[in-house]
């Protein structure tokens, strides 16, 4: 049973068990298995991943407005992995606080993060090759909560896509959203506590989302395919 009175420190995977995302290598997925997604331009779908030893959790992270849901939905369709929307797992008390512009505390987040980890592991145990999960994961210790999943299942690899953009751009995007519980004022509070991934977090890939979304999606998919080589 984990307790969270102090930051969780989880050693990152050894290089030999997780290929560096940035290192170019030939993909083990044949091009014949990658086909265009109907109704899209330049998008691809991996219909059938080849048999492999490992399973994968891809966590799409970043502050409000960075495009987590858009990118995760695209990856889920392209890879035929189930998509877990992190916002749907917040308890009502968390949603009420954020709706009123009150930032969540660490204590508010622990059960939520644990629920996301357990739901991801449940999908893997049901036979999925991988899952795509959205979660802001603003601090390293929040990311560490998800990394613990690899302790329970040694065939499971945890990866993070951090969607990076200036605060001003994200504030503009959040202000333009409709039917979402989080007000624009929450962007500032998220940047106040944000711990951008460092080079020591070798399971994280940073994607610049200030560019057109078509390029962001393609870069994200390329990173995922390289990460599963």
Secondary structure (3-state) at 162:
strand
Q: Which of 224, 208, 163, 158 is nearest to 21 (CA)?
A: 224
**Is 23 a member of any domain?**
no
Q: How many domains does the chain fold into? A: 1
Q: Which of 144, 152, 117 is nearest to 8 (CA)?
A: 144
**Is 192 a member of any domain?**
yes
**Is 24 a member of any domain?**
no
**Is 72 a member of any domain?**
yes
d(CA 29, CA 117): 27
C-alpha dihedral, 99 to 100 to 101 to 105, nearest 10°: -90
Phi-psi region at 137: left, alpha or beta (left = phi > 0; alpha = psi -120 to 50): left
Q: What is the pLDDT along the chain (229 residues), one digit of tens a residue?
A: 433 344 444 455 554 444 444 433 333 433 333 333 444 444 434 334 444 579 999 999 999 889 999 999 999 999 999 999 999 999 999 999 988 889 899 999 999 999 999 999 999 999 999 999 999 999 999 999 999 999 888 889 999 999 999 999 988 888 766 665 666 777 888 889 999 999 999 999 999 999 999 999 999 999 999 988 7
**Is 17 a member of any domain?**
no
For residue 59, give Cα distances in angstroms to 99, 120, 208: 24, 10, 16
pLDDT per position as a tens digit, 44-78? 343 344 445 799 999 999 998 899 999 999 999 99
Note down the domain range covering 207.
Answer: 54-227
Tell me if 143 sits within 8 A of 60, measured CB to CB: no
**Is 60 a member of any domain?**
yes
Q: List the CATH number of the domain containing 81.
A: 3.40.50.300
**Is 90 a member of any domain?**
yes
Q: What is the DSSP letter of 89?
A: G
Four-residue CA torsion sign, 178, 69, 78, 207: positive
Q: Which of 154, 174, 157, 131 is nearest to 227 (CA)?
A: 157
Q: In which element (H, E) is residue 72 found?
A: helix 68-79
**Is 31 a member of any domain?**
no
Tell me the two tokens of residue 176. 């333009």
């Amino acid at each position: 049973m984990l307790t969270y009175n102090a930051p969780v420190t989880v050693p990152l995977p050894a290089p030999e068990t997780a290929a560096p995302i940035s290192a170019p290598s030939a993909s083990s997925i044949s091009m014949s298995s990658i086909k265009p997604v109907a109704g899209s331009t330049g998008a691809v779908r991996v219909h059938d991943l080849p048999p492999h030893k490992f399973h994968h959790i891809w966590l799409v992270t970043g502050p409000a407005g960075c495009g987590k849901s858009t990118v995760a939905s695209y990856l889920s369709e392209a890879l035929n992995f189930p998509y877990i929307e992190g916002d749907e797992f917040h308890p009502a008390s968390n949603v009420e606080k954020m709706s009123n512009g009150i930032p969540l505390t660490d204590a508010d987040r622990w059960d939520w993060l644990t629920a996301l980890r357990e739901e991801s592991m449940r999908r893997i145990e049901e036979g999925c090759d991988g899952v795509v999960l959205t979660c802001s994961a603003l601090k390293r210790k929040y990311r560490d909560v998800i990394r613990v999943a690899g302790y329970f299942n040694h065939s499971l690899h945890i990866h993070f896509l951090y969607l990076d953009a200036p605060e001003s751009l994200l504030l503009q995007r959040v202000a333009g959203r409709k039917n979402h519980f989080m007000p624009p004022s929450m962007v500032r509070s998220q940047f106040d506590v944000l711990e951008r991934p460092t080079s020591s977090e070798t399971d994280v890939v940073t994607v610049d989302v200030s560019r057109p979304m078509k390029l962001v999606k393609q870069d994200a998919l390329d990173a995922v395919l390289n990460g599963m080589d």
